[in-house]
Amino acid sequence: SRAPRTVTVTGAAGNIGYALLFRIAAGGMLGPDTPVRLRLLEIPAALRAAEGTAMELADAAFPLLADVEVTDDPAVAFDGVQHAMLVGARPRTKGMERGDLLEANGGIFGPQGRAINDHAADDVRVVVVGNPANTNALIAAAHAPDVPAERFTALTRLDHNRAVAQLAARAGVAVTDVAGVTIWGNHSATQFPDLTHARVRVDGGWRPALEVVDPAWAAEEFVPRVAKRGAEIIEVRGASSAASAASAAVDHMRDWTLGTDAGADGTGTDAAQPGAGTDAGPRWTSAAVVSDGSYEVPEGLISSFPVTSDGGAAWRIVPGLAPDESLLPGTGGRLAATVAELEAERDAVRGLGLL
Ligand code: NAX
């Protein structure tokens, strides 16, 4: 087997951490031939709980799990890190202003960015899960001047997977018969889940999704349903999305590292990159990555785009997929609005001296 890879999970004692660590240790993220070394970062108050999770990881006797270390020191947690999963964040509590939330998270993601800058491996890849994910990623990147900004990303794969699942259910097909969904913008309720270029496989042939499902459903029901799915899960489950978020984080890091075409390497099926089918057309997924100015998203913002990876260090933004309001009536301006929200968050953290 290959050399072990070093994976750091922050917020390791939390709900998402609990689901995420076991998937990674089982080989679901980096493949069945790649041993992993896990670094669990927590705050002092949750260290003991993280140690309990480490005991359970040992008890699972995962053949690929080379080592587990639990720490509250970012310098130790990020030493030699190749895959950084930044899950721990300060949640918004009752009565908390947005500025307070951004400032509290700046106090987490600034120092973690600096620790990544100083201690990570040259090939480090970072995905921020903790909210507000896009802006937390921006803060971390700003504190890591020696690491290329393209290595800092935020998770919108959960939104993407939710969109794939909703479209498949409506069209009455399997998730593997859906392709070409895009999540644009912020991981928040302003996001734009876009079906303009989506395709659905019906009776063996790929067709434009908006010829299979009703465009009015897509614009009026699908878009808000996906954008507000997090709240729906909280209401029904009584707790926020955890296993689905962990699964999406695994999908994001796996596709980035192994490539979006690598679904067949035995790491599991990939709903969003379906189909071996060459007739599916170009394949992409969604991730929040640093903008190069594509799609009129200001350069430097970390915004969700249609992306592919060939397994190299950076995701690639797929060109030519601008949303088309003539196909999805009423959605004009939605991309601009979610980008405006990202700009407002960036300006707020800049005003707080966090960038
Ligand atoms: P939990 O509150 O269960 O766990 C968070 C953990 O992070 C806690 O154990 C806490 O002690 C730890 N933590 C806090 N500050 C830390 C620091 N400085 N260093 C290390 N650890 C620290 O939350 P959970 O349900 O696991 O959610 C984690 C984050 O994911 C939240 O910010 C949540 O909003 C966000 N989500 C993001 C999603 C996405 O798609 N991007 C979807 C799911 C989720 O809502």
Same domain for 210 and 178: yes
For residue 262, the enclosing domain spans 157-344
Residues 257 and 332 both lie in one domain: yes
End residue of a domain, out of 92, 122, 154? 154
Q: Are 61 and 176 part of one and the same domain? A: no
For ligand 1, pick from 131, 190, 247 the residue to mutate: most ligand atoms within 8 Å of CB.
131
Q: Which structure tokens are listed for 16? A: 């998402």
CATH of the domain at 10: 3.40.50.720
Show binding-site residues. Answer: 11-17, 92, 98, 105, 112, 129-131, 162
Phi, psi (5° rounding) for residue 32? -75, -5
224 and 333 together in one domain? yes
349 belongs to a structural domain: no
Question: If you measure from the C-alpha of residue 17 to the centroid of ligand 1, how many angstroms do you get, rounded to a whole number?
Answer: 8
Residues 171 and 294 grouped into a single domain: yes
Binding residues for NAD(+): 11-17, 105, 112, 129-131
178 and 88 within one domain: no
Domain check: are 122 and 165 in the same one?
no
* Residue 321 falls inside a structural domain: yes
| pTM of the entire predicted model | 0.95
CA–centroid distance, residue 142 to ligand 1 (Å): 21
79 lies in the same domain as 225: no
> Helix/strand/coil (H, E, C) string of 154-198?
ECCHHHHHHHHHHHHHHHCCCHHHEECCEEEECCCCCCEEECCCC
User: For residue 134, which of 205, 185, 210 has the smallest C-alpha distance?
Assistant: 185
Q: What is the number of domains present in the chain?
A: 2
Is residue 199 domain-shared with residue 309, that is, in the same domain? Answer: yes
Residue 57 lies in a domain: yes
Q: Which of 134, 154, 174 is the last residue of a domain?
A: 154
Give yes or no: residues 38 and 144 share one domain.
Answer: yes
Q: Are residues 171 and 199 in the same domain?
A: yes
Provide the CATH number for the domain around residue 214. Answer: 3.90.110.10
Strands of the chain, DSSP E: 5-10, 36-41, 65-71, 83-86, 125-128, 152-154, 178-179, 182-184, 192-194, 199-202, 205-208, 285-290, 302-308, 316-317
Q: Is residue 255 part of a domain?
A: yes
- On the question of a cis peptide bond just before residue 148, with omega within 30 degrees of 0, the verdict is no
Same structural domain for residues 148 and 21? yes
Spatial contact of 280 and 274, defined as CB atoms under 8 Å apart: yes
| Bridging pattern class, strands 285-290 and 302-308 | antiparallel
Q: Name all residues whose Cβ lies below 6 A of ligand 1.
A: 10-11, 13-17, 41-43, 46, 87-89, 91, 108, 129-131, 133, 155, 158, 187, 230, 240-242, 245
Residue 350 belongs to a domain: no
- 224-232: long-range contacts at Cβ-Cβ below 8 A with a sequence spacing of 24 or more? 225/166, 226/159, 226/162, 226/163, 226/166, 226/183, 226/191, 226/193, 227/159, 227/189, 227/190, 227/191, 227/192, 227/193, 228/189, 229/159, 229/162, 231/189
Write out the chain's pLDDT in tens, 355 residues. 689 999 999 999 999 999 999 999 999 999 999 999 999 999 999 999 999 999 999 999 999 999 999 999 999 999 999 999 999 999 888 888 888 899 999 999 999 999 999 999 999 999 999 999 999 999 999 999 999 999 999 999 999 999 999 999 999 999 999 999 999 999 999 999 999 999 999 998 999 999 999 999 999 999 999 999 999 999 999 999 999 999 999 999 999 999 998 643 333 334 344 443 445 566 899 999 999 999 999 999 999 999 999 999 999 999 999 999 999 988 999 999 999 999 999 999 999 999 9
Domain final residue, candidates 123, 154, 185: 154
12 C-alpha to ligand 1 centroid (Å): 9
Q: Are 199 and 208 in contact (CB under 8 A)?
A: yes
